[in-house]
Structure 1
Amino acid sequence: MSKFVVGLTGGIGSGKTTVANLFAEQGIDLVDADIVAREVVEIGSEGLNKLSEHFGTRILKLDSSLNRSALREIIFNNPTHRDWVNKLLHPLIRIEMLKQLDSAVSAYTILIAPLLFENDLDRLVNRTLMVDISTQEQVKRTSTRDSVSQEQVHRIIESQAPRAKKLQRADDVIDNHGEISALKSKVIALHNNYIKLSNNA
C-alpha cells in the first residue's frame, strides 16, 4: 500500500474518538475498524449470511439484523464458537478496511483501531499513535459515559493489551489528561509531522 497510514489506538475511554475528530477537522480521512466491523455484518452481507447459516435465527433480531448480545452470549463461554466467528469476520473486516484505506484521498489516513496491536493491525500502517490516560481515568470516564459498573470497565481493560506494552510499541503518544485546547495543539503538531512523513514516504 503506497498511501501513508497512521494507526490510532488507545484503551477504552481514552479519547480516541475525540482525537480522531480533531484530525478530521484538519481534512484527514478516517477509517474506523469498529464501524467496518459493523458494516461486514449488515443485513444482506456475506458475514451475516454465514453467521445465520452457522448459528441459525437465534442470532437475528425480528428485522433480520444481527442480535449482537445473542451472538456475544453464544461465543463468550465457548472458545470453539469464538474462534469460528473470528476466522470468519477478521478477514472480511481486513479486506473492507484495506478497501476504505485505498479509496481515501487525504494526504495521509487515520485507521482507528482499539485492538491495533492485539489484532496485528499495526502491520497495515506506517506509524502508530496511542491516546493514553491512566487506568483510574479510563474507569471514571467510561463508567460515566456508558453508565456501566466500574467492575465491567475493569474487565474490558483487562481483556486489552497492558497499557505499558502498548506505550512501548507506539511510535507516538498523546497524553490526554489535560484540556481539549491542549489536545488540539498536540494533534496539529502531529498532523504537521505526518504531512512531512507522507511526503517523504
Structure 2
Amino acid sequence: MFKVGLTGGIGSGKTVITNAFSAHGIPIIDTDLIAHRVTASGGAAIPSIRTQFGATFITAEGALNRNRMRELVFNNMQAKQQLEASMQPLIRIETDRAIQTASGPYVVCVVPLLVEVSDWLKRIDRLLVVDCTVQTQVKRVMRRNGFTPQQVQAIIACQATRQTRLAAADDILLNETDTIELLLPKISLLHKLYLYLARTSA
C-alpha cells in the first residue's frame, strides 16, 4: 500500500484537507484519533502513563487527564519526551494494523508529529505538508478552541517549525483560506499524482 503522510502545525487545516481526500475514496488513518483511543478509559497507554506520571494524570473514569497532561508537557520537555515514548510505539502498531486492512489505491496517514518523530519519515512514501502562517494558526485555534494567543503560541513552540516541515516536504498545500473550494483543484491534482505513484511503485 502506497502511504502518503500528511502533517502540518496546529490550526493549519489538516482535517479539511483529509476530508477532501476522503471524498476521492481514499482511506484516512488519523493518528490523533488513535492517540485518543489508546488514552481513553482502558486504553493501552493508560498503565504506562499511570506508572510514569502518577494517578493524578488519570481521570476517575480511567482515561488520560488531557488538561493536566497538556499543562505539564508544555512546560517540561522531559515529560513531553516521556509521554511520546509511551505513546508512539502504540500509535505505530495501530497505524500499521489500519494500513493492512485499508482498501484503496493509496492511504493518507495524518500524523501531527510526523516531522518531530523521525521514525515516521521512514514509514511513508510521500510527505504532504499543509502549511499556513503562524498568524493564521493562532487565529484559527483561538476561534476553534477558545484558547488565548499565549496558549496557542505555547503549542506552536512545542511543534516543529514551519521551516522544518517545509524542508522535509515532497508536496505542499498552502492553506490560508477558510474556503476549501479554492484548494479542491490542487487536491485533485495531488490525488492524480498519488494514484500514478501508487501504480508505478507497486
Alignment TM-score, normalising by the size of structure 1: 0.90
Out of 1, 7, 19, the residue aligned to residue 9 of structure 1 is 7
Deviation string, structure 1 residues 92-121 (Cα, Å, up to 9, x no partner) = 111111111221111100010111111121
Matched with 2:147 is 148
1:191 aligns with 2:191: yes
Question: Where in structure 2 are the equivalents of 1:101-116 lying within 5 Å?
Answer: 101-116=99-114
Q: CA deviation at 1:8?
A: 0.5
Q: Structure 1 55/168 Cα, relative in aligned 2: closer, same or farther at 3 Å?
A: closer
Structure 2 Cα separation of the partners of residues 144 and 176 of structure 1: 16
Structure 1 Cα separation of the partners of residues 84 and 64 of structure 2: 16
Q: Structure 1 82/152 Cα, relative in aligned 2: closer, same or farther at 3 Å?
A: closer
Matched with 2:175 is 176
Contact 2:5 2:108 in 1 (8 A): yes
How many residues end up aligned between the 2 structures?
Answer: 199
Question: Where in structure 2 are the equivalents of 1:158-177 lying within 5 Å?
Answer: 158-177=157-176
Out of 60, 63, 75, the residue aligned to residue 61 of structure 2 is 63
Structure 1 Cα separation of the partners of residues 162 and 73 of structure 2: 26
Matched with 1:51 is 49
Please, which runs of 5 or more residues in structure 2 have no aligned partner? Answer: none
Structure 2 Cα separation of the partners of residues 96 and 77 of structure 1: 29
Aligned residues with identical type, % of pairs: 37
Alignment TM-score, normalising by the size of structure 2: 0.89
Please, which runs of 5 or more residues in structure 1 have no aligned partner? Answer: none
SS of equivalent to 1:65? coil
Structure 2 Cα separation of the partners of residues 165 and 16 of structure 1: 17
Contact 2:42 2:62 in 1 (8 A): no
Q: CA deviation at 1:186?
A: 1.0
